[in-house]
Amino acid sequence: MAQRIELNALDGGRVPISDEALDALGAGLRGEVVIEGAPGYEAARTIWNGMIDRRPGLVVRALGAGDIRAAVNFARDNGLRLAVRAGGHQIGGLAVEEGSLLLDLSQMRSVHVDPEARTARVEPGALLGDVDRETQVHGLALPVGVNSTTGIAGLTLGGGFGWITRKYGMTIDNLISADVVTADGSILRASENAHPDLFWAIRGGGGNFGVVASFEFRLHAVGPEVLSGLVVHPIAEAPALLKEFRAICDEAPDELTVWSVMRKAPPLPFLPEEWHGKEVLIFAACYAGDMAEGEEAMRGLRALGNPIADVISPHPFVGWQAAFDPLLTPGARNYWKSHDFITLGDGTIDTILSAVNTLPDPQCEVFVAHVGGAMARVPSGATAFPQRDAHFTMNVHTRWSDPAKDEACIGWARDLFDRCAPDAAGSVYVNFMPEDEDGRLGEAYGGNLDRLREIKATYDPGNLFRVNHNIRPASMAQAAQ
């Protein structure tokens, strides 16, 4: 048989793939098989983080569950390493692997809303903006993240939190069911009543247990406008203001979410020109409820200090969900480090601010998100995601364009991370973990990790789905100890 390509093997070698095998795979797809140089290859392999420049050996561009199953079967039967790309926003670039088979779900972007049932059926390639636009047609919303170009699949499988999480829970808390293609090629409907162990695992356990072909979500009445926006202060006022921020968060109603962002001021039209490029503290706030009640709830926040600008007002929810998109465009180089804190201590505030005074690039920032409310009223063992106490999440969002700055920017992020570690909670949000942090799985999953390994052994005993923050099957994990 003629040989066309070789792909990475699960055992670490290489597997030759014949033309006949490729033709047979392609003949069974609604989508297509793509090799390097063919139309669609570059689009499939290019993801949000510009640091990631990997060339898969073969791409299956899926259009439905049948295509997903065909790709999974092909990988398993040929002993191939398989990467799965949906929205392509995963910070570590684990959606693509050099020389391996890539299953690309990015063309599966359908969002179907049932306004009477207040549910949505969403395909895995959909972006958060797709979900927001379709649900808001009916005055409904799903709690998701804060960048509209993030993919719904990766966000959900890791947990998912954003502006309305304190009121309506995490993305996973609103998942009703999911159709999952497992390692043996089965297509299973996972829910509280069907394959409940699998349903438990995919709510926070990442892509370790199968490939989700569609999600079913519960929606909530939100919008079409929310009281939201930014209050911008000089960084010199940050030491006192962050302590006030901490107190406001502790007393905030579930409807109110306030995050703090520290960075150099971008050239936003509402900021005086003399502040462009200077370090600032930004409070980003959203109230998911009645406008008048929101005005009262935000009164204390807006009364703090002497702001450079206050642009809190009613905004379309869809627009607010995309408000940070201009600062998070694809193609830049990105590296993140993250800690959770049960409380934002004075020492932590001082450490963060000292780092903000030495930002290695104008695109770099540190944000501190406050979570809790409805999210914190879910028991830590109810889903694979365990960090349910009300807490602050710090993301050292290091972003730059010049590859010559790689060492300086990554070093700055790691240094701030290390200096904050003594006061951290010892947990981490898996969606904020870069590729070099697989040693933090215990922090990501806490007491849920052993159960996740057992479920992995049931649904993926051979660890086919390993190109991720990998949870090894129980037997493999024990053998490695």
- CA neighbours within 13 Å on the CB side: how many for 288? 27
Beta partners for 371?
391
Q: Tens-digit pLDDT profile for the chain (481 aa)?
A: 344 799 999 999 999 999 999 999 999 999 999 999 999 999 999 999 999 999 999 999 999 999 999 999 999 999 999 999 999 999 999 999 999 999 999 999 999 999 999 999 999 999 999 999 999 999 999 999 999 999 999 999 999 999 999 999 999 999 999 999 999 999 999 999 999 999 999 999 999 999 999 999 999 999 999 999 999 999 999 999 999 999 999 999 999 999 999 999 999 999 999 999 999 999 999 999 999 999 999 999 999 999 999 999 999 999 999 999 999 999 999 999 999 999 999 999 999 999 999 999 999 999 999 999 999 999 999 999 999 998 999 999 999 999 999 999 999 999 999 999 999 999 999 999 999 998 999 999 999 999 999 999 999 999 999 999 999 999 776 666 5
Convert 306-330 to b/e letters by CB count within 10 Å (16 or more is b): ebbbbebebbebbebbbbbeebbee
Residue 453 lies in a domain: no
Measured between alpha carbons, how far is 426 from 430 in angstroms, rounded to an integer?
13
Q: What is the pLDDT of residue 438?
A: 85
The greatest distance separating any two alpha carbons of the chain, rounded to the nearest whole angstrom, comes to: 75
Which of 84, 104, 124 terminates a domain? The answer is: 104
Judgement on whether residues 193 and 244 belong to the same structural domain of the protein: no
Convert 427-457 to b/e letters by CB count within 10 Å (16 or more is b): bbbbbbbbeebeebbebbbeebbebbbebbb
CB 86, CB 150: distance < 8 Å: no
Q: What is the domain count for the chain? A: 3
Residue 190 lies in a domain: yes
Q: From its phi and psi, is residue 78 left (phi > 0), alpha (psi between -120 and 50) or beta?
A: alpha
Measured between alpha carbons, how far is 190 from 178 in angstroms, rounded to an integer?
5
Judgement on whether residues 353 and 263 belong to the same structural domain of the protein: yes
Q: What is the pLDDT of residue 108?
A: 98
Q: Residue 340 maps to which CATH number? A: 3.40.462.20
Residue 282 lies in a domain: yes
Nearest to 152 by CA among 120, 183, 182: 120
Tokens of 1: 């048989």
Judged on CB neighbours under 10 Å (0-12, 13-18, 19+), 70 is: buried
Q: Residue 14 maps to which CATH number? A: 3.30.43.10
Measured between alpha carbons, how far is 245 from 231 in angstroms, rounded to an integer?
12
Judgement on whether residues 74 and 129 belong to the same structural domain of the protein: no
Quick check: helix, strand or coil at residue 32? strand
Which of 221, 241, 272 terminates a domain? The answer is: 221
Which phi and psi angles does 462 have, rounded to 5°? Answer: -90, 0
Judgement on whether residues 260 and 344 belong to the same structural domain of the protein: yes
Residue 386 lies in a domain: yes
* CA 214 centroid distance within chain: 17
Judgement on whether residues 99 and 203 belong to the same structural domain of the protein: no
Judged on CB neighbours under 10 Å (0-12, 13-18, 19+), 35 is: middle
What does DSSP say about strands 101-104 and 82-85: parallel, antiparallel, or unpaired? parallel
Q: Residue 125 maps to which CATH number? A: 3.30.465.10
Q: What is the pLDDT of residue 480?
A: 60
Judgement on whether residues 284 and 415 belong to the same structural domain of the protein: yes
Judgement on whether residues 357 and 268 belong to the same structural domain of the protein: yes
Judgement on whether residues 91 and 134 belong to the same structural domain of the protein: no
Nearest to 177 by CA among 130, 213, 133, 145: 213
Judgement on whether residues 99 and 157 belong to the same structural domain of the protein: no
Sign of CA dihedral 9, 14, 20, 25: positive
Cis peptide bond prior to 224, omega within 30° of 0: yes
Residue 48 lies in a domain: yes
Judgement on whether residues 255 and 401 belong to the same structural domain of the protein: yes
Nearest to 66 by CA among 100, 27, 93: 27
Where in the sequence is the domain holding 165, given as residue range(s)? 111-221
Residue 474 lies in a domain: no
Nearest to 338 by CA among 219, 246, 265, 434: 434
Judgement on whether residues 164 and 61 belong to the same structural domain of the protein: no
Judgement on whether residues 200 and 130 belong to the same structural domain of the protein: yes
Q: pTM for this structure?
A: 0.96
Judged on CB neighbours under 10 Å (0-12, 13-18, 19+), 243 is: middle
Which of 88, 104, 120 terminates a domain? The answer is: 104
Q: What is the pLDDT of residue 2?
A: 44
- CA neighbours within 13 Å on the CB side: how many for 187? 11
Q: What is the pLDDT of residue 476?
A: 74
